[in-house]
Amino acid sequence: MLGYLAVRLFGVLVLAKWAHVRHHGLWPVLAKSWDSNWYLGIANHGYVLPSDPHEPSDLAFFPLYPALVKAVAAVTPGSRASVGLLLAVAFSLVAACGVFAVGDRLHGRRAGTLLAVLWAALPVGVVQWMGYTESLFTALTAWSLYCVLTGRWVVAGSLAALAGLTRPTGVALAAAVSLAALTALVRDRRGAGRRARGAVLGAVLAPAGWCAYVAWVGVRVGRWDGYFAVQKVWENQWDGGVGTLRDIRGLLVYANRPPLFLVLVTVILIGSCALYLLCLADRQPLVLLAFTGALLVVVLGSGGVYFPRARFLVPGFPLLLPVALALARARRTTTVLVLGAATLSSAWLGAYMLLVWPGPP
């Protein structure tokens, strides 16, 4: 936890200094920018259908985070924006503990610690302390995966259901938990009846949150594919990765001076695919491989806007396990240099993303 806090606090200090130089306030940048305003709008007014069906709708944003902001703000002082930011920070600490718990369970305390610090030092790690849903979603994901690793199927399925109410990529966690539960059930046919019932219940619970919200949007919009129609207005639609490959080729081959942030996103996408191959080679547990694989398929297969793809992969912390293991076996000097470089680059890139890049993170 101290390592995680040190990395993120350093990033905030760099951001604060940069924001001061550019005459920006730190609090508005973290609490009230881009998607944060959409979540605050839902917390303040609920979901509002636009008069024009071709305008972007807040139905694209899942309800758990704004519901928590509204509930906590009702019993605490301060604005809902401040509550949303504090909740994000609090959930990031819960997420860091879950990330550590998964690494510790699989490879020991040192690997777990390094995994949590590496997650803090992601190039776009600054979103963990913004009024966004990445911290909440990662917290639910990490502890759901940990519960699968320890055989707590009902808790794992319940957490996956909550994750499905948090972000569209909750479908990746739901698929992973359900697959792992059913696989365990098949492998352990002679297992105790209570354990078998728990696995079945976990498999059923996992997709419940995501499916419930998608179905509710369909009823609200008045068409069976209502949620996907809403996403299409936001220019997010499935194309099997054709759009992603086109964007990568355009940036790396045809662009004379591609924007730095988009180059960073491209490097993260390619690096994540390479890390997934290493995860396969390391024979990670099925639930981790299924989750990160499904997450990559969802993120890379979307034909929508390109720039937020790196942020969408923030919950995919198991992809960092090969790096954490390598650092756990390396000399202390090597580990310190790598973590130091990651921390510095994360702080600089986070500030660049929020203060220089003109679009959303």
For 61-111, what is each residue's pLDDT tens digit? 999 999 999 999 999 988 999 999 999 999 999 999 999 999 999 999 999
pLDDT (tens digit per residue) in 132-181: 999 999 999 999 999 999 999 999 999 999 999 999 999 999 999 999 99
Q: What CA–CA distance (Å, rounded) separates 192 from 172?
A: 28
What is the reported pLDDT for 198? 86
Burial profile 73-110: b = 16 or more Cβ within 10 angstroms, e = fewer: beeeeeebbbbbbbbbbebbbbbbbbbbbbbbebbeeb
pLDDT at 191 over 60: no
pLDDT at 121 over 80: yes
Q: Give φ, ψ of 151 to 5 degrees.
A: 80, 20
What is the reported pLDDT for 177? 97
Q: For residue 56, which of 304, 242, 240 has the smallest C-alpha distance?
A: 304
What is the reported pLDDT for 105? 97
Question: How many other CB atoms are there within 10 angstroms of residue 221's CB atom?
Answer: 18
Structure token pair of residue 323: 């790096």
pLDDT at 306 over 60: yes
- Mean pLDDT, the chain, whole residue set: 93
Q: What is the mean pLDDT of residues 223-247?
A: 88
pLDDT at 331 over 60: yes
What is the reported pLDDT for 61? 95
C-alpha distance from residue 258 to each of 247, 265, 355, 357 (Å): 11, 11, 18, 12
pTM: 0.95
Q: For residue 272, which of 243, 237, 249, 300 has the smallest C-alpha distance?
A: 300
Most confident of 29-43, 91-105, 255-269: 91-105
Q: What CA–CA distance (Å, rounded) separates 93 from 70?
A: 21
In which band, very low, low, confident or very high, does the pLDDT at 235 lie, cut at 50, 70 and 90?
confident
Q: What is the mean pLDDT of residues 191-198?
A: 71
Residue 262's Cβ-count burial label (10 Å; 0-12, 13-18, 19+) is buried
Close Cβ partners of 161 (under 8 Å, ≥ 6 residues apart): 174, 205, 206, 207, 208, 209, 210
Q: What CA–CA distance (Å, rounded) separates 220 from 243?
A: 29
In which band, very low, low, confident or very high, does the pLDDT at 42 lie, cut at 50, 70 and 90?
very high
Q: For residue 135, which of 84, 100, 172 has the smallest C-alpha distance?
A: 84
Supply the Cα-derived Rg of the chain in whole angstroms. 20
pLDDT at 190 over 80: no
pLDDT at 189 over 80: no
What is the reported pLDDT for 78? 83
pLDDT at 213 over 70: yes
**192-196, 281-285, 314-318, 339-343: which range is least confident on average?**
192-196
Q: What CA–CA distance (Å, rounded) separates 174 from 161?
A: 7
pLDDT at 248 over 60: yes
pLDDT at 252 over 70: yes
